[in-house]
Amino acid sequence: MLPKFKNKFSSPSITDPKTFIECKIQSGRKTSFLPPKGVILYYQSRQFESILKNHKTVPGDGFLAKMQFLEEGNIGLFEVGVGGPATAIALEKLIAFGVKKFIAIGTAGSLQPHIPMGSFVICNKALRDEGTSHHYLPPADFIEADAKNINKLAHIMQRIGVPYAMGASWSTDALFRETIDEVQYYQSQGIITVDLESAALLSVAQHRDISMAVLFTISDILSAGTWEPHFYHPQTVEGLETLYQIARTYFE
């Protein structure tokens, strides 16, 4: 059972992201940018590089050197890394900087045969089969996404004619330990996708009282009892571009 120290989620932390940012500033890495009204979060470098190749952005500076800003300057793009711990650390820093609204876009695996490759999924809750979320919130099987964010995403996708599924995602730390027994069980429970980050992102957001939405395109299939990865398929690349357009609209 995590965390090892009982009820740690109710205790204040001796380490904090604001102090970490202050340390960077003291080392000469002050940024000239103000907090944007929202940030689009990415997991993999290839997603981020594709956006930079196809869209005009302005690079950040100082401790935001990894941030890219849309030309209007009020929306940021940030690669948070893969897995719950990396995404939580990056998210904490951005929240400490002053960002209050986020949308995370990326890929997920399908657990259900009616959700094929290239589908779009709004994550309305995440199964907490990972470690990070348990350091932020009391024990529970799931972390729920904010209903207002879900409804806004659904409205946008309906308005622009993008079909989508909505449901729970199994969030795990172990990409290469997703077993057939787990897949079949979570299928039977109605969970529709598997990913590595959603539980951590939603838990940090709830703990810090900021806005978070999570949106996927399906890049791999596990529903038939085998793994069919299509991470570099043109349909996956096109799906990520569609997610970017939806994310931009989300902040309008």
Q: What is the pLDDT of residue 72?
A: 67
* pLDDT tens for each residue of the chain, 252 residues long: 678 888 888 889 999 999 999 999 999 999 999 999 999 999 988 777 888 888 889 999 999 999 999 876 689 999 999 999 999 999 999 999 999 999 999 999 999 999 999 999 999 999 999 999 999 999 999 999 999 999 999 999 999 999 999 999 999 999 999 999 999 999 999 999 999 999 999 999 999 999 999 999 999 999 999 999 999 899 998 999 999 999 999 998
Tell me the CATH number for domain 32-250. 3.40.50.1580
Query: Would you state the structure tokens that stand for residue 44, as one six-digit string?
Result: 């993999």
Compute CA 78 distance to the chain's CA centroid, rounded to the nearest angstrom.
Answer: 11
Measured CA to CA in angstroms, residue 159 lies from 163, 241, 242, 249 at distances of: 10, 17, 14, 11
Closest CA to 239 of 53, 15, 47: 47
Closest CA to 103 of 31, 211, 242: 211
